[in-house]
Amino acid sequence: MCGIVARIGESDDATDELLVGLDNLEYRGYDSAGIAVQNGCDVDVRKRAGDIDDLRNALSTDSPSGSIGIGHTRWSTHGPPTDANAHPHTDCSGRIAIVHNGIIENNGELRRTLRREGHVFESDTDTEVVPHLIESAVADGAPPMEAFRTAIDRIDGSYAVAAVIGGREGVYAARNDSPLVIGSGDSTQYLASDVPAFLEFTDRVTYLEDGDVVRVTPTGFTVTDGHAQSVHRRTETVDWDPQDTGKGGYDHYMLKEINEQPIALGRSVRGRVDSLAEEVELDGFPPGTFDGIERVHLVAMGTSYHAAMYTESLLARRGVPARAFMASEYAMAPPPEENGTLVLAISQSGETADTIAAVRAARAERTTVVTNVVGSSLTRECDDTLLVRAGPEIGVAATKSFSSQVATLSVLCERIRRDVVGTPSADAESFLSALTELPDHVQQVVDGSSAEEIADSFVDSDAYFFIGRGPGHAVALEGALKFKEITYEHAEGFTAAELKHGPLALVTENTPVFSVFNGRDGDTETLGNVKEIRARGGPVVAVASEDAPDLEGDVDHVLPVPATHPDLVGVLANVQLQLVAYHAAKHRGRSIDKPRNLAKSVTV
């Protein structure tokens, strides 16, 4: 999705810091980039289709000088990725420049009105109406802040907008349904769609809320809400390390983030479980939090949906009725209101539009978000927040966030079970103990994986299938998603039992099947399915716990994972499948961290 960054300082470093910010927003996905730097009464706009490096090269000999500016990475929605459609967009005078993330729904009608007033448009974008609306209000005599708010009041839709106006100190910005966060340094302020944009300059962040309009100057900012009343928004310190947003010597963010999973899992679990005492301690979720809850609806998209499916299995095994929903479907047709429904929203970014819509549509007694991002939109939409503490995830393909979501949700499942059923689950001690060992077990998988050789041996296949049962089904779907999104090959996940009800017709000697064994009941049946695949010539790679049945002679390859509690084997199996997808994509020379057509945060 589009990314916004603004730098409001006193030294003439705006261009350099805006380019750093754009680099740090690259992970969101984009097809063009640009900046606008204030230069006295003028505004210097540079933009182009293509990479940020193309923009950087174009600026290398003639770079705008100034202390205040805005920048943007565009992910096309209205009009193709061209220089003209790249942001920033300006008014007729060229002195008002705008960057925007989101969709302006009444853009057609506003464009017609503005054209009748004599405004001239140069792009296909919905965004371009905004600088002209400001220009129009200024022409009517409004001071800049009032003109900016007048323009914002006239647009419908989702937006995060930032503007610079020639001759006026500061940046004007507003948000509605699109994220926007201020970063505060000593004499320099930043504004961005996401914290990594400015994390190497400051860790003090203030999230804006829907309806907020803000003016940011080098020394601070003033916020007014949707009713134009002054409001205070809380400033927090994020505990992310700026190093976490670099590649740290790895070829790709994805590989770095796969390798970071032991650390991330340690953060998710540490201080939250005491296996000996069979206790869980979740800040903000004391015993009794879920008294009165009778069922859990899990809403999420993509990888987070697979974490939701995984959790559905864990809750069901703990005697708690639970159901995972694609958030987009839930939003369109939420189940009828029933007392005792807990909606658990799961989202790495906390900004996914479909998941926000599901929470808004929910008829629930309580809503809780499990997210990786402090202060994100879903933390404000839900009654309470549980952080997964995975650290910043830059690769578009979600990796460490999935493992950390499942680990965090595993702890939460135990809390819910105790409140709903009244007792710890029967195997609480071994489950909690396995959770504390999870970081070490993941480290063993990462260190000893032969995923690269296996990925290389199946490079010419027609399609790639993934099967599993229970949590292993969620892992199979996640394995297929990861594989397809970064290799661009056809990959599909199924429940193991589903194969012979149709998909088995697709199985040939050119369709490797990755089969997840959980190390528990059901593995015998999965082995039966594997035999059916092999009888049709399909090669099988088992991703199996050391506790799985003897697979000797029944599969072509094994990607082993350490023996652990069966509820957590899936997390380890998923790490093997992440590595398979990574190496398969690398072998094909794909754009692993920024796969085509995809964006990290799907905010529209």
Which residues form the catalytic set?
2, 600
- For residue 53, what are the contacts with CB-CB under 8 A and spacing of at least 6? none
The residue (of 18 and 409) whose beta carbon lies closer to ligand M6R is: 409
Cα gap 87→73, rounded to integer Å = 8
The residue (of 379 and 601) whose beta carbon lies closer to ligand M6R is: 601
Residue 602 binds to ligand M6R (criterion: CB under 6 A):
yes
The residue (of 359 and 543) whose beta carbon lies closer to ligand M6R is: 359
Residue 368 binds to ligand M6R (criterion: CB under 6 A):
no
Residue 603 binds to ligand M6R (criterion: CB under 6 A):
no
The residue (of 163 and 390) whose beta carbon lies closer to ligand M6R is: 390
Main-chain phi, psi angles of 369, to 5 degrees: -110, 140
Residue 392 CB, nearest distance to ligand M6R (Å)? 12
What is the SS3 string spanning 489-527?
CCEEEEEHHHHHHCHHHHCCCCCCEEEEECCCCCHHHHH
Which amino acid belongs to residue 475? V
DSSP H or E run through 407 = helix 400-421
The 386-425 site mask, x for binding ligand M6R (CB under 6 A), equals ----------xxx---------------------------
Query: Is the peptide bond between 321 and the residue preceding it cis, with omega within 30 degrees of 0?
Result: no
Residue choice 9, 88, 196, 302 for contact with ligand M6R (CB under 6 A): 302
Residue 561 CB, nearest distance to ligand M6R (Å)? 21
Residue 398 CB, nearest distance to ligand M6R (Å)? 4
Stretch that binds ligand M6R, among 147-155, 285-293, 300-308, 314-322 (CB under 6 A): 300-308
Residue 85 CB, nearest distance to ligand M6R (Å)? 24
Residue choice 303, 425, 564, 578 for contact with ligand M6R (CB under 6 A): 303
Sheet with 230-231: strands ordered across: 89-90, 96-104, 157-165, 171-176, 213-217, 220-224, 230-231
Main-chain phi, psi angles of 274, to 5 degrees: -125, 100
Residue choice 193, 348, 410, 449 for contact with ligand M6R (CB under 6 A): 348
Residue 355 CB, nearest distance to ligand M6R (Å)? 5
Which residue lies nearest ligand M6R, judged by its C-beta? 302
Which amino acid belongs to residue 38? Q
Residue 337 CB, nearest distance to ligand M6R (Å)? 25
Residue choice 101, 304, 311, 526 for contact with ligand M6R (CB under 6 A): 304
Stretch that binds ligand M6R, among 27-35, 163-171, 301-309, 454-462 (CB under 6 A): 301-309
What is the SS3 string spanning 222-237?
EEECCCCCEECCCEEE
- Decide if 205 contacts 375 (C-beta within 8 A): yes
CA-wise closest residue to 342 among 264, 420, 276 = 420
Residue 373 CB, nearest distance to ligand M6R (Å)? 8
Give the burial class of 426: count Cβ atoms within 10 A of its Cβ; 0-12 exposed, 13-18 middle, 19 or more buried.
exposed
Beta strand residue intervals within 68-212, DSSP E: 68-74, 89-90, 96-104, 157-165, 171-176, 181-184, 189-192, 204-207
Residue choice 347, 379, 461, 545 for contact with ligand M6R (CB under 6 A): 347
Residue 350 CB, nearest distance to ligand M6R (Å)? 7
CA-wise closest residue to 436 among 240, 279, 259, 254 = 279
Residue 88 binds to ligand M6R (criterion: CB under 6 A):
no
Residue 301 binds to ligand M6R (criterion: CB under 6 A):
yes
Residue choice 355, 367, 404, 564 for contact with ligand M6R (CB under 6 A): 355
The residue (of 102 and 519) whose beta carbon lies closer to ligand M6R is: 102
Residues from 218 through 277 that contact ligand M6R (CB under 6 A): none
List Cα–Cα distances, 504 to 407, 500, 501, in angstroms.
Answer: 33, 5, 7
The residue (of 485 and 593) whose beta carbon lies closer to ligand M6R is: 485
The residue (of 2 and 19) whose beta carbon lies closer to ligand M6R is: 2
- Number of amino acids touching ligand M6R (CB under 6 A): 16
Cα gap 604→593, rounded to integer Å = 21
Residue 485 binds to ligand M6R (criterion: CB under 6 A):
yes
Give the burial class of 243: count Cβ atoms within 10 A of its Cβ; 0-12 exposed, 13-18 middle, 19 or more buried.
exposed
Terminal Cα distance for the chain, rounded: 8
- Decide if 526 contacts 510 (C-beta within 8 A): no
The residue (of 320 and 394) whose beta carbon lies closer to ligand M6R is: 394
Residue choice 101, 349, 368, 487 for contact with ligand M6R (CB under 6 A): 349
DSSP string, 315-384: HHHTT--EEEEEHHHHHHSPPPP-TTEEEEEEESSS--HHHHHHHHH---SEEEEEESSTT-HHHHHSSE
Residue 165 binds to ligand M6R (criterion: CB under 6 A):
no
Residue 254 in 3-state DSSP? helix
Stretch that binds ligand M6R, among 207-215, 333-341, 342-350, 557-565 (CB under 6 A): 342-350
Stretch that binds ligand M6R, among 159-167, 296-304, 357-365, 506-514 (CB under 6 A): 296-304
The residue (of 396 and 544) whose beta carbon lies closer to ligand M6R is: 396
Take residue 120 and report the two structure tokens written for it: 């001239």
Cα gap 444→486, rounded to integer Å = 24
Residue 90 in 3-state DSSP? strand
The residue (of 245 and 355) whose beta carbon lies closer to ligand M6R is: 355
Place of tokens 């009828």: 336
Residue 405 CB, nearest distance to ligand M6R (Å)? 8
Stretch that binds ligand M6R, among 349-357, 493-501, 545-553, 580-588 (CB under 6 A): 349-357
Residue choice 125, 313, 352, 377 for contact with ligand M6R (CB under 6 A): 352
For ligand M6R, the binding residues (CB under 6 A) are 301-304, 347-349, 352, 355, 396-398, 481, 485, 601-602
